[in-house]
């Protein structure tokens, strides 16, 4: 029983040592997986910027707005990446940014939260909800979560029958 309380205190102790509610992106990783012609295609976006106001003790007051350049898409194949930048897919000339804006955030556990966000891609905004972790230890501060969306909801990829409709996005942000 004593060990349980020690673990609990160690889990919540970093929250009391927060230097503030505003965080800057130190490093980030935004990756995705989608099936195409039966094979899993991995990709990423780079250059995430964000305005993060987050205190894990007051998640209901949090605001998070993250933006990433659609043009930064990288699947490891230049020809495919250039194709994905065209109007049928991300239409990066007309819609250069993908944004994620928080609507509501709630606490679900010592380091787990559930967020409702507006995701805007290719000029279409949809509400999505997904869980994420906030970890604050002396070596790092990290926000980490993932969600699944339907690409057709955002007009990405047209009516391709070889590409799956659903893809999973993974986000990890080291903050300071």
Domain coordinates of the chain in residue numbers? 2-175
CA distances from 99 to 29, 38, 48, 119, 140 (A): 15, 29, 10, 6, 25
Nearest to 133 by CA among 116, 141, 145: 145
Mean pLDDT of 122-150: 97
Confidence of residue 20 (pLDDT cuts 50, 70, 90): low
Tokens of 41: 């295609």
pLDDT in tens, 58-105: 999 999 999 999 999 999 999 999 999 999 999 999 999 999 999 999
**166-176 residue pLDDT tens:** 999 999 999 99
pLDDT in the model for residue 1:
53
pLDDT at residue 14 is higher than 70: no
The rounded mean pLDDT for the chain is: 91
Q: What is the pLDDT of residue 160?
A: 86
The pTM (predicted TM-score) of the whole model is: 0.87
Task: Determine contact, residues 105/114, Cβ cutoff 8 Å.
Answer: yes
Measured in Å, how far apart are the chain's first and last C-alpha atoms? Answer: 34
Is the per-residue pLDDT at 12 higher than 80? Answer: no
At residue 80, the pLDDT reads 96
Of 22, 116, 100, nearest in space to 66 by CA: 100
Count helices and strands in the chain by DSSP H and E runs: 2, 10
Closest CA to 27 of 43, 42, 14, 46: 46
Distance separating alpha carbons of residues 93 and 156, to the nearest angstrom: 14
Superfamily of domain 2-175: Lipid/polyisoprenoid-binding, YceI-like (2.40.128.110)
pLDDT at 5 over 80: no
Mean pLDDT for the stretch of residues 36-53: 97
- The token pair at 75 is 């699947």
Pair of tokens at residue 56: 């894990």
**Exposed, middle or buried by CB within 10 Å (0-12, 13-18, 19+), for 114?**
middle
The answer, yes or no, to whether residue 15 has pLDDT greater than 70, is no
Q: Is the pLDDT of residue 54 over 80?
A: yes
């Amino acid at each position: 029983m004593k060990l349980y309380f020690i673990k609990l205190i160690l889990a919540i102790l970093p929250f009391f040592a927060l230097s503030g509610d505003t965080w800057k992106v130190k490093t980030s990783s935004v990756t995705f997986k989608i099936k195409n012609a039966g094979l899993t295609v991995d990709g990423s976006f780079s250059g995430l910027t964000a305005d993060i106001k987050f205190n894990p003790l007051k998640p209901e007051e949090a605001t998070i707005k993250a933006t990433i350049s659609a043009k930064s898409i990288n699947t490891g194949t230049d020809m495919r990446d250039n194709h994905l930048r065209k109007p049928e897919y991300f239409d990066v000339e007309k819609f250069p940014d993908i944004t994620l804006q928080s609507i509501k955030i709630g606490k679900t556990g010592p380091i787990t939260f559930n967020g409702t966000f507006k995701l805007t891609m290719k000029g279409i905004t949809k509400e999505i909800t997904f869980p994420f972790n906030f970890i604050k230890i002396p070596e790092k501060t990290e926000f980490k979560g993932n969600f699944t969306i339907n690409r057709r909801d955002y007009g990405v990829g047209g009516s391709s029958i070889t590409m799956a409709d659903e893809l999973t996005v993974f986000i990890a942000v080291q903050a300071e």
